[in-house]
Amino acid sequence: MEPTFVSIPGFDGKYEISITEPHEVIDTTTGLVLDEWYNCCGEEAVLLDGELYLITELLPN
């Protein structure tokens, strides 16, 4: 099954996130999957426009 991606609000469609696990963030301008980072608590995050965002912050409610 192919993952479903949604646009991340606040980035004018530049990034999309998969709504099913494992969560992936893609740069829509290049089509590349972005590398994930982990903070000291083990929470997954991605670097978007020079700022680190937790995956849980980016997922739609």
Q: Report pLDDT digits (tens) over 1-39.
A: 788 999 999 999 999 999 999 999 999 999 999 999 998
What was the pLDDT predicted at 3? 85
Check residue 58 and give its pLDDT: 96
Selected residue with higher pLDDT from 1 and 55:
55
pTM of the model: 0.88
Are 28 and 14 in contact by the 8 Å Cβ rule? The answer is yes
Q: What span, in angstroms and rounded, lies between the C-alpha atoms of 16 and 49?
A: 13
User: Would you say the C-alpha torsion 52, 54, 57, 60 has a positive or negative sign?
Assistant: positive
Q: Which amino acid is at 47?
A: L
